[in-house]
């Protein structure tokens, strides 16, 4: 009985700590008249940024990936080995959306530049930004916005 209790306690601890680690993995985009929420994976290491959403065959409408480069810099993305259409939101350190590239084409190796220095890139399902009325100048809210690396 004690062994079973120890296993349950360990599983509960693991579940709770995993949940706590993911508590900040929510992005909100504030538009003129609405706030849109996305559950995101964070890509803040070079290997995670390089992998991105490659080889995924599906992305839910409220899911995404937030790339954090820690400082504002020009960045460029491509869609090599990416199987789904994506919208790329290029975002300044203060959370302002600087540029939106809509419906990036799967498997296309053409570079998609930020056009201006940015700290973040939010990838969401292709067409979602337009569908939700998200435009350049809207604001991303996330605990990393406005923080030093």
Q: pLDDT per residue over 71-105, tens digit each?
A: 999 999 999 999 999 999 999 999 999 999 999 99
47 vs 36: CA distance, rounded Å: 28
**Token pair for residue 147?**
């923080």
pLDDT digits (tens, 9 = 90+) for 103-134: 999 999 999 999 999 999 999 999 999 999 99
C-alpha distances out from residue 117 to 71, 90, 143, Å: 9, 9, 20
Q: Is the pLDDT of residue 6 over 50?
A: no
pTM for the structure as a whole: 0.84
């Amino acid at each position: 009985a004690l062994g079973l209790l120890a296993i349950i306690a360990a599983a509960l601890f693991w579940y709770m700590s995993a949940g706590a680690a993911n508590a900040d993995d929510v992005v909100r985009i504030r538009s003129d008249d609405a706030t849109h929420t996305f559950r995101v994976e964070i890509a803040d290491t070079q290997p995670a940024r390089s992998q991105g959403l490659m080889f995924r065959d599906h992305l839910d409408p409220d899911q995404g990936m937030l790339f954090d480069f820690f400082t504002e810099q020009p960045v460029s993305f491509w869609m090599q080995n990416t199987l789904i259409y994506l919208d790329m939101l290029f975002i300044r350190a203060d959370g302002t959306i600087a540029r939106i590239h809509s419906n990036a084409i799967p498997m296309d190796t053409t570079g998609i530049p930020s056009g201006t220095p940015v700290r973040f890139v939010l990838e969401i399902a292709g067409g979602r930004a337009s569908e939700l009325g998200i435009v350049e100048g809207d604001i991303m809210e996330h605990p990393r916005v406005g923080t030093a690396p």
